[in-house]
Every structure is written in C-alpha cells, then in structure tokens.
C-alpha cells in the first residue's frame, strides 16, 4: 500500500516514525511519502517537506506567515492528488491537518485516518463537526478521550495507547546508564542538573528560553543543561542564551531527563516525557503581548 503521512513538529516526527516502522512489519511492500522529519526519513520513503517549514503556532506568528502556510497547504494537496495514496494518515497538528482532511473529503475518494486526535476537549470543541465529516478513522492516545468522543459526541474512535509511554519505557529498559557515565561521556560538570526543555519551534524557544534561563540561574549549585531540538541550529540558541552559563546537548533529551534533578519545560509533549522520567518540573509557556493575544482569542 501507499501511505501519505503529515506531521508538523518534532514529537509528530517521532511518533510517525514508529508508526511507519510498525506498518512495514505488517506491510513489507509499504511505500511512504510525507511531510515530516529526519526520523521518518530514516525509516524510508520520500520527504516532500520538512516539518520545520510548517512549525508556526500562536496568533501573531501564524498571521505573519500566512502566505507560507497557504503555499504549503496547496503543495500538500497537489502532491497527495498526484501521488494517489491508498490512505492519508494525519498526525496531530490540527490547524493544518484538518484543512487537508476537508479538502480530501470534498475532492477525492482517498480515506483519511487521524493518528493522535486533536485535543478538542481542551479548546475548539466545534471542530468535532469537521472531524465527523472529514475523518474516516480516529486514533486516540489518551484513554479519557474515548468517553469524550463516543459518549459526548457519539463518534467512535480507537484508543491505541500512548506512544510516549512506550518510547520512554523502552529507552529506560535499553539504557540503564549511571550519572557518572553520563557526565563522563557528555563532558558535563559533576554538579546536579536542571534540564531546560524550551520547545521544538523557533518561536517557542525565542519566547521561553530567556525567561527559563533567568529563573534557573538563581540556583548556582546546579548546572543548566539545555535539550537541543531537532532542526534548530546551535547559533539560534546562542541568540537567546546571552551570557548565561548553560550547555546544550542535541539528540540526547531522554538521557538528559534520566539524569536530571529537576526541569523547566515548555508546555507540550515534553511535559509528559519529563513526568514519565519522574523528574520534578515547572511547566511554563510565555506569550509576548499576552493581553493582546487574550483579547483576540476572546473576540475572534
């Protein structure tokens, strides 16, 4: 079969890569084409666009990049129609993916599966109408969503377990690493660690990292270690680190969390990952011109 997958951020790339690997076990002839990331590319198939070209969130960033967002949507729709997959699998990222689902329902006969259902129980519950109309099968990773979708909205879904739980459990079983091993291999100081997880998007890093550094720097008895996100260059981080004493580790977030004493975490998938490693955390999310954004949310 031919599978077309669409993700919009680093966590989606991780989960989709595992899904692709599982599909290959069931369907050795599987062909993949996707809007995705490096982890998906490592499984195989053709990457049409990297998710870092899609990763805009928040009212102002979206407005500033509307032309790019619409161009990416147009490219995605045209590419799906040209390739004619047997199924399109949408992974989280509802602002973009629900638009793709609407197009596919109206203009094609290609079935639409949605893996990691939109969190409409938190906001934009009205999207249930679009989901019922445009999505053939919905797959949830949170058990309480079954009652929300089936009980409240009479829309049957599949609960398939949480991939983050599986990923963290597998990592801990395969990497029984000691603190001394970690310090020696990474060149860190022997002091206890405060991990900083500032998000996977440039806008999140820009908005949150300076505040996180100011807060964590109040504890000189700890060393600050920043988890570098995929697709973000060291130079970009250094724009916002300034004179703060912090080290960056790329591609080692789970190793870092396994050894951290505490963490400052930008709200998102990383909060669940941190909790699964049993690391005490402060969850934050800073939005510039917050009062303006709040007004726009209430009135638009």
- In tens, the pLDDT along 196-235 reads 999 988 888 999 999 999 999 999 999 999 999 988 899 9
Q: What is the pLDDT averaged over residues 96-117?
A: 97
Could you tell me where the beta strands, DSSP code E, fall in the chain? 2-6, 31-36, 46-50, 87-91, 112-115, 137-140, 158-159, 193-197, 223-228, 246-250, 262-266, 281-284
> Quick one: how far is CA 256 from the chain centroid?
18
The SS3 call for residue 261 is: coil
Task: Encode pLDDT of 125-151 as tens digits.
Answer: 999 999 999 999 999 999 999 999 999
* Third-level CATH fold of 170-284: Rossmann fold (3.40.50)
Per-residue pLDDT, 66? 67
Per-residue pLDDT, 64? 60
b/e burial code for range 67-99 (CB count within 10 A of at least 16 → b): eebeebeeebbebbeeeebeebbbbbbbebbbb
Q: How far is CA 140 from CA 14, 184, 247, in A?
A: 16, 40, 36
pLDDT band at 184 (very low <50, low <70, confident <90, very high): very high
pLDDT band at 40 (very low <50, low <70, confident <90, very high): very high
CB 163 within 8 A of CB 273: no
CATH number attached to the domain at 2-161: 3.40.50.2000
Task: Tell me the C-alpha distance between 2 and 240, whole Å.
Answer: 42
Per-residue pLDDT, 79? 98
Cα–Cα nearest to 91, from 68, 67, 123, 118: 118
Q: How far is CA 170 from CA 25, 254, 275, in A?
A: 18, 11, 15
Q: What is the pLDDT averaged over residues 112-118?
A: 97
pLDDT band at 162 (very low <50, low <70, confident <90, very high): very high
Q: What is the pLDDT averaged over residues 158-169?
A: 94
CB 194 within 8 A of CB 261: yes
Cα–Cα nearest to 111, from 146, 135, 139, 131: 135
Task: Encode pLDDT of 251-299 as tens digits.
Answer: 999 999 999 999 999 998 899 999 999 999 999 988 777 777 778 777 7
Per-residue pLDDT, 6? 97
**Domain-wise residue ranges, the chain:** 2-161, 170-284
Q: What is the pLDDT averaged over residues 31-54?
A: 93
**Angle at which helices 10-26 and 163-174 cross, to 10°:** 80
Domain 2-161 and domain 170-284 have a common topology = yes
The SS3 call for residue 98 is: helix
Whole-model pTM?
Answer: 0.82
DSSP 114: E
Average pLDDT, the chain: 92
Task: Tell me the C-alpha distance between 36 and 33, whole Å.
Answer: 9
At 159, phi and psi to the nearest 5?
Answer: -90, 120
Task: Encode pLDDT of 52-92 as tens digits.
Answer: 877 655 555 666 666 777 888 999 999 999 999 999 999 99
CB 28 within 8 A of CB 57: no
């Amino acid at each position: 079969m031919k599978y077309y997958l669409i993700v919009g951020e680093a966590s989606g790339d991780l989960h989709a890569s595992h899904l692709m690997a599982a599909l290959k076990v069931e369907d050795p002839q599987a062909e993949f084409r996707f809007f995705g990331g490096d982890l998906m590319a490592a499984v195989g198939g053709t990457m049409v666009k990297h998710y870092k070209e899609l990763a805009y969130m928040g009212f102002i960033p979206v407005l500033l990049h509307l032309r790019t967002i619409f161009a990416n949507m147009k490219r995605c729709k045209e590419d799906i129609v040209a390739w004619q997959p047997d199924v399109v699998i949408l992974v989280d990222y509802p602002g973009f993916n629900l638009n793709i689902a609407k197009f596919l329902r109206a203009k094609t006969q290609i079935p639409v599966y949605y893996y990691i259902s939109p969190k409409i129980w938190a906001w934009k519950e009205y999207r249930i109408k679009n989901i019922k109309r445009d999505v053939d099968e919905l797959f949830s990773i949170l058990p309480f969503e079954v009652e929300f979708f089936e009980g409240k909205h009479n829309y049957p879904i599949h609960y398939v377990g949480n991939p983050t739980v599986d990923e963290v459990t597998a990592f801990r079983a395969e990497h029984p690493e000691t603190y001394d091993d970690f310090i020696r291999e990474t060149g860190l100081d022997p002091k206890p660690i405060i991990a900083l997880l500032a998000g996977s998007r440039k806008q999140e890093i820009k908005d949150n990292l300076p505040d996180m550094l100011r807060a964590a720097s109040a504890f000189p008895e700890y060393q600050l270690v920043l988890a570098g996100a995929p697709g973000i260059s060291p130079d970009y981080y250094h724009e916002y680190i300034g004179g703060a004493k912090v080290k960056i580790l790329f591609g080692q977030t789970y190793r870092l969390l396994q050894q951290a004493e505490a963490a400052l975490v930008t709200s998102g998938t990383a909060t669940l990952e941190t909790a699964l490693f049993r690391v005490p955390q402060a969850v934050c999310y800073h939005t510039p011109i917050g009062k303006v954004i709040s007004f726009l949310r209430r009135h638009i």
